[in-house]
Amino acid sequence: MYVCLCKGLAESDIHRAAESAGAHPDNLILSLGLEDDGCCGRCVENIHELVALASTRCFQCPLSPAPADRLDTQSGALR
């Protein structure tokens, strides 16, 4: 899914940004440029949704690790 149409950001972009800059709201806003001119401001308003998204595993980018609490340590599968 696209999460931001102003910037054309998909879920995978959020995961990538969270990985390089961290999933803190301020880091996401800055690294993704969510306060740039021409942005509608919805993402900043609902930044907690992006933070939540950043902390779930993305199946499109194999780099992003699964959060420890959702990972079955024995089988390696997601709960």
Partner 1 sequence: MKAKEGVIELLNKILTADLTAINQYYVHAKMCENWGYERLYEKVRSRSMDEMKDADELIGHILYLEGVPNVQRLGTVHVGETVPEQFKADLKAEQEMLKILTDGVAHCAKAGDYTTRHMLEDMAKDVDGHIDWIETQMETISQVGLENYLSEQIKK
For residues 12 and 1, what is the distance between their CA atoms, to the nearest angstrom?
Answer: 9
On whether the CB atoms of residues 39 and 50 are closer than 8 A, the answer is no
For residues 23 and 2, what is the distance between their CA atoms, to the nearest angstrom?
Answer: 18
Shortest separation between residue 32's beta carbon and partner 1, angstroms: 17
Segment 41-70, which members bind partner 1 (CB under 8 A)?
A: 42
- Kindly tell me which of 42 and 57 has the beta carbon lying closer to partner 1: 42
For residues 77 and 65, what is the distance between their CA atoms, to the nearest angstrom?
Answer: 12
Structure-token pair, residue 15: 């995961």
Number of residues that bind partner 1 (CB under 8 A): 5
Shortest separation between residue 10's beta carbon and partner 1, angstroms: 6
- Kindly tell me which of 2 and 35 has the beta carbon lying closer to partner 1: 2
10 touches partner 1 (CB under 8 A)? yes
Give the footprint of partner 1 on this chain (CB under 8 A). 1-2, 5, 10, 42
